[in-house]
């Protein structure tokens, strides 16, 4: 055999070996790619995304798309090396350490369950924010969704318990309860006033030091709102809190005369709180790609994501900065009428 043929044979064997190794070698990374979009004033599986009963609604047009990020990998289904390499070469996806999405302190199932709870909270916050913007009054409460096995709340608090006060101080939202618990020195006890069925109780729970040194008791909570009419949101298998802004806009569009989009294809992202404040999200680059592929020309961007978004904005997509639901509504009004300023993202 000639030296050239031998060299080619050895090189081919090495390439084949590396290919096989890459296909079977699992790596602790997760690939993030553009996920599906859903029109919040449209339908999913022939059912409206937002259904309002008990209140007058109005026709809508155009699109108010929520955007998502799809992920591949995780502790129970790690990707192979070749998949990771393809991701690193693709500018529309991101390859991140597995621990970024699935912290070592929580299982993949726990993370997915938390995403489901965050989506439920996001929907309620979106309803509350829309009603706040419209100055429609509503009531609030917070209930326990679950407790973490082995943590202090396990066995003391139960699913469905409604928390009304912490340390003797009335509370009405998840953030208020979390902050009240964090204010307690780890190892000390905290007393929750709860309603369990028809019974009102004071339950004292020890605290422990959790991730990042924060005081925790080991429970998952969910806001419960008492709205004056029914708002049902149907988005299928989507988790996380980042669709809050777009849910709020969809609800507002249906509850008010006129068409918020002016027939335009609008997409956006951002968490929402009951006051209407818009918060930052992850995966902004992948979400913009998904929005543009779905036809959007305008992208509502949380102010804290603007600098990152400016570095990766696809051609043909206009970034509009949103710090609040009210500001987003004003921006859409300005886009539709051509009157007023539209807040733009900047790189700084």
Q: Which residues are catalytic?
A: 242, 287
What are the tokens at 175?
């953030």
Other CB atoms within a 10 A radius of the CB of residue 213 amount to: 8
Angstrom distance (rounded) from CA 178 to CA 191: 13
H-helix or E-strand spanning residue 101: helix 98-101
H-helix or E-strand spanning residue 164: strand 162-166
Angstrom distance (rounded) from CA 231 to CA 208: 38
Question: Where does 197-324 have alpha helices with state H?
Answer: 244-255, 284-293, 306-310
Angstrom distance (rounded) from CA 313 to CA 46: 32
Which residue, 300, 306, 320, is CA-closest to 247?
A: 300
Beta strands 79-80 and 271-272, pairing class:
unpaired
Alpha-carbon radius of gyration of the chain: 24
Cβ 266 vs Cβ 298: under 8 Å = yes
Angstrom distance (rounded) from CA 327 to CA 324: 5
Angstrom distance (rounded) from CA 214 to CA 83: 36
What are the tokens at 225?
């709102």
Angstrom distance (rounded) from CA 291 to CA 331: 18
Q: 10 CB contacts (<8 Å, ≥6 apart)?
A: none
Angstrom distance (rounded) from CA 277 to CA 299: 17
Dump the DSSP string for 126-158. Answer: HHHHHHHHTT---EEEEEEEEE-TTSTTBTTB-
């Amino acid at each position: 055999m000639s030296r050239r043929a031998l060299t080619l044979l050895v090189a081919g064997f090495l390439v084949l070996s590396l290919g096989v190794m890459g296909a079977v070698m699992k790596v602790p990374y997760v690939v993030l790619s553009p996920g599906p979009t859903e029109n919040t004033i449209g339908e999913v599986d022939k059912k409206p995304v937002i259904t309002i009963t008990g209140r007058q609604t109005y026709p809508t047009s155009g699109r108010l798309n929520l955007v998502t990020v799809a992920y591949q990998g995780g502790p129970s289904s790690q990707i192979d090396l070749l998949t990771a390499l393809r991701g690193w070469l693709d500018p529309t996806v991101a390859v991140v350490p597995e621990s970024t999405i699935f912290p070592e302190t929580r299982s993949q199932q726990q993370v997915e369950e938390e995403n489901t709870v965050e989506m439920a909270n996001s929907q309620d916050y979106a309803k509350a924010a829309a009603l706040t913007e419209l100055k429609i009054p509503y009531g609030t409460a917070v209930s326990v969704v679950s407790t973490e096995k082995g943590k202090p709340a396990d066995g003391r608090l139960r699913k469905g318990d409604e928390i009304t006060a912490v340390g003797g101080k009335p509370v009405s939202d998840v953030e208020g309860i979390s902050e009240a618990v964090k204010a307690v020195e780890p190892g000390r006890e905290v007393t929750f006033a709860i309603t369990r069925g028809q019974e009102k109780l004071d339950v004292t729970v020890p605290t422990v030091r959790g991730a990042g040194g924060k005081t925790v008791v080991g429970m998952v909570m969910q806001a419960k709102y008492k709205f004056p009419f029914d708002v049902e949101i149907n988005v299928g298998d989507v988790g996380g809190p980042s669709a809050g802004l777009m849910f709020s806009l969809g609800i507002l569009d249906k509850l008010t005369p006129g068409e918020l989009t002016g027939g335009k294809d609008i997409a956006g992202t951002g968490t929402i709180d009951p006051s209407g404040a818009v918060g930052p999200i992850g995966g902004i680059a992948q979400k913009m790609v998904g929005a543009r592929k779905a036809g959007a020309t305008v992208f509502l961007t949380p102010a804290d994501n603007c600098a990152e978004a400016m570095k990766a904005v696809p051609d043909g997509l206009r970034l509009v900065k949103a710090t609040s639901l009210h500001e987003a509504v004003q921006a859409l009004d300005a886009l539709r009428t051509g009157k007023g300023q539209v807040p733009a993202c900047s790189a700084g």
